[in-house]
Amino acid sequence: MGLLDKHASYRDAYSGIRAAGADPFNVRFEGVLSPTEGLLDGRRIILLGTNNYLGLTFDPDCIEASAEAVRKWGTGTTGSRFANGTFKGHAALEDALASFYGRKHAMVFTTGYQANLGGISGLVGRGDHLILDADSHASIYDAARLSQSEVIRFRHNDPDDLYKRLRRLGDAPGGRLIVVEGIYSMMGDVAPLKEIVAVKREMGAYLLVDEAHSMGVLGARGRGLAEAAGVEADVDFIVGTFSKSLGAVGGFLVSDEDNFDLLRIVSRPYMFTASLPPAVIASTLTALRRLEEDSDLRVRLAANADQLWNGLRALGYAVGPHASPITAVVMPDQATAVTMWNALLTNGVYLNLAVPPATPDNRPLLRSSVSAAHTPAQIEAVLAVFAQLGQDFGLLPKRARRATA
């Protein structure tokens, strides 16, 4: 028996998906032409599943800062933040993030995944209570395992359920940390943060908000959901990533918490991995400045999000509860989802196929994310493909007409 035989059920499911056409989990772009277009099998494809919310991956200033840094500092740090891997730029980026969020402290991690892993597992441990929204990202669940804390899940976006579960804890010893996301990565819905904050206050818990998908998207200054909901003062910790709005890779944790820097010597995902290359730090710092200075990017992103969400809904597709840069179309079953995903690609549209167990309520999804860089014409083209395929595959009522924008 081979070591990997235990994954046979996954292998069979994956083979089934691949048999239907292209491999959705191993798409190999031959080129990336812009934040919104790629090349696949020699064809131009609209990129509609990249999390490139502000479209900054080809920003000339970010590219220039990155090129200059690689020449000056080399290709990598070849070491941990804890040892030789902290250069001037890493510290400058931490200062810039702390100042952007109006917080005393910031820590930069090598990925957003590690920011959750390292932040959460440094904050709670054995004997503490970690209270998670049931639809939390895998990095939050993995952080829970690493932390060895007692994990309590509450129903997705349900502050009453959160309250009940915290009340049930009574006077049990140990710290309490609630973790929620700003915008949820699969359906694009936002957390009811005001209500969650009210529960947190009453029950004396700490609150961490993962703003991975909401930084640069929500809030008057782009700080995320906590800013948009007006509750920043009640959010104790914010996690974010550089791999979405900031167009690079990396993650961070910011806070006003006393003794914050202790995390630098107890957080294993911070200590036992190499730090970010200087080129990434430089482009991220430049992208953060752009995010701060150019609120038009958020305006364009919101307009594109509205256009796609309204267009899909008007066609008759089941989408998330409100317009959001992430719009997921719920498919009736996995086979249809895979067929649609292939047909969309054949018709020049790339988005993400998301299948159980990685999706809320185990529903197969066609998950898209728009960018400030998409043009209204590109979104119209995507909607036209959805309209046609919806008819071809019998997913939409006959002669459904799309409202013109």
Q: Which residues contact 145 (CB under 8 A, 6 or more apart)?
A: none
Q: In 238-295, where does DSSP find H-type helix?
A: 263-266, 268-271, 278-293
| Binding flags for ligand PLP, 170-209, as an x/- string (CB under 6 A) | -----------x---x------------------------
88 is known as an active-site residue: no
Q: Between residues 326 and 387, which has the closer beta carbon with respect to ligand PLP?
A: 326
Which stretch, 80-88, 110-118, 262-270, 346-354, contacts ligand PLP (CB under 6 A)?
A: 110-118
Interface residue with ligand PLP, options 57, 139, 324, 327 (CB under 6 A): 139
Rg (CA), the chain: 22
Q: How far is the CB of 21 from ligand PLP (least distance, A)?
A: 25
Give the residue among 172, 165, 169, 174 at the shortest CA–CA distance from 134.
165
Alpha carbon 324 to its chain's center? 13
- Tell whether residue 241 is a contact of ligand PLP (CB under 6 A): yes
Interface residue with ligand PLP, options 36, 66, 116, 273 (CB under 6 A): 116
- Tell whether residue 359 is a contact of ligand PLP (CB under 6 A): no
- Tell whether residue 137 is a contact of ligand PLP (CB under 6 A): yes
374 is known as an active-site residue: no
Q: Between residues 37 and 210, which has the closer beta carbon with respect to ligand PLP?
A: 210
Q: Between residues 185 and 334, which has the closer beta carbon with respect to ligand PLP?
A: 185
State the burial class of residue 264 (Cβ atoms within 10 Å of its Cβ: 0-12, 13-18, 19+): middle
SS3 101: helix
**Angle between helical axes of 296-315 and 376-392 (0-180°, round to 10):** 20
User: Hey, which residues does 152 pair with through a beta bridge?
Assistant: 131
| Binding flags for ligand PLP, 248-267, as an x/- string (CB under 6 A) | ---x----------------
Q: Which residues contact 181 (CB under 8 A, 6 or more apart)?
A: 133, 135, 136, 137, 140, 191, 209, 210, 211, 212, 213, 214
CB 328 within 8 A of CB 318: no
Q: How far is the CB of 42 from ligand PLP (least distance, A)?
A: 29
Known catalytic residues are 185, 213, 244
List interacting residues with ligand PLP (CB under 6 A): 111-113, 116, 137, 139, 181, 185, 210, 212-213, 241, 243, 251
